[in-house]
Homo-oligomer: A and B are copies of this chain.
Amino acid sequence: MKIWLDGAIRDAAVARIDPADRGFTLGDGVFETIRARAGAPLHLERHLRRLRTGLAVLGISLTRSDAELAAAIGDALAANGHLDAAVRLTVSRGPAARGLWPQELGPQELGSATVVITCVPALFTLGTARLIVCSSTRRNEFSPLSRIKSINCLDAVLAKREALERGAEDALLLNAQGRVAEASAANVFVWLKGRLATPPVVEGALPGIARELLIERCGAVEASMTERDLRASDAVFLTNSLSLREATHLDGAPLSRRPNLLEDIRCALESGETGALP
């Protein structure tokens, strides 16, 4: 496997991250998972916009332009010969001395960012998922990290692991107030009273790209919701850049389902037409 690392394509088996990289020592960075189709990344402008929002929140300076990042993604796909792929673009703050923010350097930006691009073959998938309500952890809607895609993924890892241990495929993370925020690596939508709704970003939902498209193109609205709302809805589904999954169960109890739900959502997303949903 080839990866793009700090300016060049390298063999993944020998590519080196410095052990002092703050990505490794502190989880200090952000990433994007981008779908590529026919060798081209989809919605790249949106992904890069979100990446830069995350970098700004963390105060990480990235000198490479969007055009350079786009070219690098193209190079990584080409080097591996992938057409349909999952691309991961990671930007960390780079290597630095010990400490959360080495004090002698003051509040300025630290280090020189590390950029890694990896890709693996992947097709967009439609599927189903049994859900549980995560009991081991919650989203922190009081942290700006809930609104950016940072490398601090351990709450999501714990939620996913709990789901698998409990015989499900994914877990719903509640926020500190006990309302639904998102799934471990996907946004949650419900079809309720004839409209599509998804938890607001201020409730701890990551502003997902597929989520953004469903709001812009399909009239989905942001609405706070509880587990009870999910149980009362006509359908529940999960979106991210690589998949669309209909939830079949919540904590073992069947959820209502809607015929052709996923195909309808996919068509609406891909057509880009407002009101494309039946």
How far is A176 from B19 in the complex, measured between Cα atoms in Å?
33
**Is A27 in contact with B151, judged by CB distance below 8 angstroms?**
yes
**Is A17 in contact with B27, judged by CB distance below 8 angstroms?**
no
**Is A151 in contact with B101, judged by CB distance below 8 angstroms?**
no
**Binary B-proximity of A153-168 (CB < 8 A = 1, otherwise 0):** 1111110110011000
Is A142 an interface residue, CB under 8 A from the partner?
Answer: yes
Within A105-127, the residues touching B (CB, 8 Å) are: 106-107, 116, 118, 120
| Interface 9-residue window, one of A61-69, A86-94, A213-221, A246-254 | A86-94
How far is A3 from B98 in the complex, measured between Cα atoms in Å?
13
How distant is A157 from chain B, measured CB to nearest CB, in Å?
Answer: 5
Instruction: For A139, list chain B residues within 8 Å (CB).
Output: 140
Within A175-212, the residues touching B (CB, 8 Å) are: 176, 184-185
How far is A16 from B21 in the complex, measured between Cα atoms in Å?
11
**Binary B-proximity of A123-146 (CB < 8 A = 1, otherwise 0):** 000000000000011111011110
- Name 27 interchain pairs, CB-CB below 8 A, sorted by A: A12-B20, A16-B16, A16-B17, A17-B24, A19-B116, A25-B31, A25-B151, A25-B153, A27-B154, A57-B158, A58-B158, A59-B161, A98-B118, A98-B120, A101-B160, A101-B161, A107-B164, A136-B144, A139-B140, A140-B140, A140-B142, A140-B176, A142-B176, A143-B155, A143-B158, A152-B153, A152-B155
